[in-house]
Every structure is written in C-alpha cells, then in structure tokens.
Amino acid sequence: MAKAIPSRSENYSEWYNELIKRADLAENSAVRGCMVIKPYGFAIWEKMQRALDDMFKETGHQNAYFPLFIPKSFLSKEASHVEGFAKECAVVTHYRLKNAEDGSGVIVDPEAKLEEELIVRPTSETVIWSTYKNWIQSYRDLPLLINQWANVVRWEMRTRIFLRTAEFLWQEGHTAHATAEEAKFETRQMLDIYAQFAEEWMALPVVKGTKTANERFAGADDTLCIEAMMQDGKALQAGTSHFLGQNFAKAFDVQFLNKQNQLDYVWGTSWGVSTRLMGALIMAHSDDDGLVLPPKLAPIQVVIVPIYRSEEQLELLSAKIKPLVQELRKAGVSVKYDDSDANKPGWKFAEYELRGVPVRLAMGGRDLENGTVEIARRDLKTKETVPFEGLTEHIKNLLDDIQQTIYNKAKTFRQANTYKVDTFEEFQAQLDKGGFILAHWDGTSETEEAIKEATKATIRCIPFDQEAEEGVDIFSGKPSAGRVVFARAY
C-alpha cells in the first residue's frame, strides 16, 4: 500500500482531496475546474439518483429534459435572476470552426457569429418557463410537476472536486400551481424529501430552515434549505427548495384560466440537489483510513475475502462461499467475492477499508472446519467470529445497525459542536473553533452583511424550530426575536 492518507486534524483539505483520489472516486479533468467522476464514485451517485427519483415519483413528479443552451434574452426577462447568475455564465458566441490558413490548427470562424448569444445552462428556470407558456392554458393543466436530471455550468474560479466545480450534475424540479398555497406546500414538501433522504440514506442529520433575503435564490420570494455539519465544523448546504411566487410566470407570461374563468398567473417552485452531496457524504463520515459509507449508498455492501494456501483449499472455500453470495444477493445485499490472486488478503483488507465497504467477511481453512466466518465492520473497526449458519440474516441486521450507528455518530458530533453565544467576542472566539453558532440577529440585511464582512460567517438558516426568545443582536445591539444558525461554510 502507498503512504497513509493525511490526517483530518493536520490538514482537512488535503485529507479530503487525497481521499477522493485514493478511493478512486473522481479526478480533475483536462478542462480547468471540471471533474471526471470515476466508476466507483459514479456508482454512489447512481444510488443517490435512484433513491431520490423514486421519492420524487411517489409524490407525483415526472422526469423531462430541456435544452442545455438558453437564449441570452431569456435571462434578461427576470431582472434579479440574471443579476444573480450573470458572473457565472458561460457564453456561446459562434457556431463554427475552420482550419487556420497557416495550418496551425482550428480557429473560430469569424463569419459564424450567432445572431443571439447562447448561455450554457446555469439553471433552467428561464428555458423551462418559456416552455410552460405553451403547456398551460387552464386550471386543468395544473399542477405541473416536472423534474430534470442534467448537468449545469457555473463558471467557478476556485474549484474543489464535488463541492464546487465549473460543471456538475444535479436534478432540478420546476413546478407550476394554481394557488400560492399549493406552491408553498410543494416548496416545503420537497425540502422535507431532501431532509428525509439526507437522514435516512446519507445518515446525515440536517437543520431545516429558511434562508435570509441576502442568501435567497435569485428570482425567488422564499428559499428553504437543509444545512449539514462537516467534521471540520463547517456547514454545507445540502439542498434547497424555492418558492418563486409569480415572478417567472409574469416574466414569461404564463397565464391560465382559473375555475372562475378568469386569467391569472401561475405560481411556481424550483428545487435541487447536486453532486456536492458526494462531498458531504465524504466529509461527514470518513476517517483517516479512508471512506466510511452508509450501507444504503455503498456500491459494495459486503466483500468476502477467502484466505487459502492452495488451489484445493480455495475450491473448498468457494464451494461454501458462493451459495452465500447468491443468498445475499437474493436478499437485496450487494456483495463481492474477491478470490483473485493478484493481491494478498492483507492488501485487500486495507483496500476495501479505504473504499468504505461497510462489512468484510474473511474465511480461512480453520473457519471452514469450525463452520464460522470472521466479520469486520468498517464504521467501528471491530471484528467478530460468528457461525456460518444464519449468516444472511445476521448481515442484514448488521447493515441496518451500521446505517443507524453512522447517523447517530454524526448527530452526536453536531450536538457537541452547536453553541449558543450572546456577545460578538464569544461569537468570534467560537468561530475559530468551528461548529454551528446559535446567536441573536436583528433581522436586517445590513447587520448580516457586516458580520459576514468581519468574520466570513454567514447565516445558514433561520431554523423552522426556532424558539421565540427575546434578545439583542450580537453585532448591532438591536432587539432580536430569536436565534439563527451562523457558521463558516463550503
């Protein structure tokens, strides 16, 4: 094996980057700021996709696909939206290349300038709402519940794999409703789905809340979010759901005849999560020996390694193990039997630990005689010897226990690193240690911006479960009705 991964305590950023590389999840591409997601990393993303897609469809949503290119004029129709994305847009200006006359290669053909520039999709509200105008005429066409799985481009200058890349994968839901109440219900429902996915699949506890006006999605009336804590104490926004009001409907003239036979503008929502969830999964659970994956999202949930001295012994072990493999697969467990002779068992143990496989089984000659097998669990790094009989049920229960244990550990960590502070001096001292800080805020954008400027901390959300509590803003000294969640964030 190569040298050890840098420890989290010494250099968290280097640990993260090196772990992604060593676990074979992704790598930087030839295009600056973009990433190549490798098969093992993509297998995790596919599991995320599948689970989320099922949850969306259970609530009546359908998948569709819209163009990658957006006419520049579309972005001009919603003023706050274009202002929010203008600095991040990649622009297509020409439609053809040609060979250079000096033979040096291809150049952009100056005669092939587009009449109107095209924007490479940073998000799809504008192109989708221009389409909805043709789809919606009556209240009978509503609600319109559409999701799209796609890639988007946001021209990031400082990139980090999974967390912030110029191109990334995501899903974006875009829905249209007859009333504001229905749209607000949808906005909250989808945030609750994201929270359920984070907690039940990613084993990641989250805080649900509302974004401040400063942090709100460009073009939305309200933005809801889930915020997670990473092991370095920083926050990561793990999902957002936006109530768009009638902003995009008015910008693109999407009207419908209501039940009173009157024309009205529809009410909209949009919501999305992206491959940054991969970064959250890594940073929330993994350790200095490699990935720690919740079983529900692990590409390989169980690996079985035979320990043998001869081909004859391997044949005997395989005769015992292969029926178990089939039994586990029938029970819905993803399992790999690694009987390759390319590497020794010790190397395999370390490699599967690095890749975060939740359960490892080892079986040798003595185990064969005794009717036992050694089981190692990745999360606690414990081993036990158990009878071979009844092993499938034991493993299924063990995977459930690992999933819950990983969640409990993350939740305990968050609770231990959440603090109430009442003065700006306490606030600054705690920020350097990391964690979520519950502090009073006077509700003004000016104070929020001043705190951000002074400390690089932002209000992550106004929690839904915020307690009414009279107090004074830690910075301005003005009255406050309750505490909000501050943190430094990715």
The half-sphere exposure of 79 on its side-chain side, counting CA atoms within 13 A, is 0
Nearest to 249 by CA among 144, 172, 153: 144
Amino acid at 221: D
Amino acid at 54: D
Query: What's the CA angle centered on 312, arms 306 and 314, to 5 degrees?
Result: 10
Mean pLDDT split into 10-residue runs, the chain, 490 residues: 81 97 97 96 98 98 98 91 90 97 95 97 97 98 98 93 97 98 98 98 98 96 98 98 98 97 98 98 98 98 97 97 98 98 96 98 97 98 97 98 98 98 97 97 98 98 95 98 97
Whole-number pLDDT of residue 157: 84
Whole-number pLDDT of residue 84: 86
Whole-number pLDDT of residue 83: 86
Delimit the domains of the chain by residue range: 13-70+124-285, 295-407, 417-487
Whole-number pLDDT of residue 397: 98
Main-chain dihedrals φ then ψ at residue 152, nearest 5 degrees = -135, 160
Whole-number pLDDT of residue 1: 45
CA dihedral 184, 185, 186, 190 (to 10 degrees): 110
Encoded tokens for 416: 């231990």
Q: Give me the residues paired with residue 209 across strands.
A: 225, 463
- CATH annotation of 417-487: 3.30.110.30
Kindly report the pTM of this predicted structure: 0.96
- CATH annotation of 295-407: 3.40.50.800
Strands of 302-306's sheet in order across = 335-337, 302-306, 359-363, 372-377, 382-387
Pairing of strands 436-440, 335-337: unpaired
CB atoms near residue 385 (< 10 Å) = 12
Whole-number pLDDT of residue 2: 54
Whole-number pLDDT of residue 124: 97
- CATH annotation of 13-70+124-285: 3.30.930.10
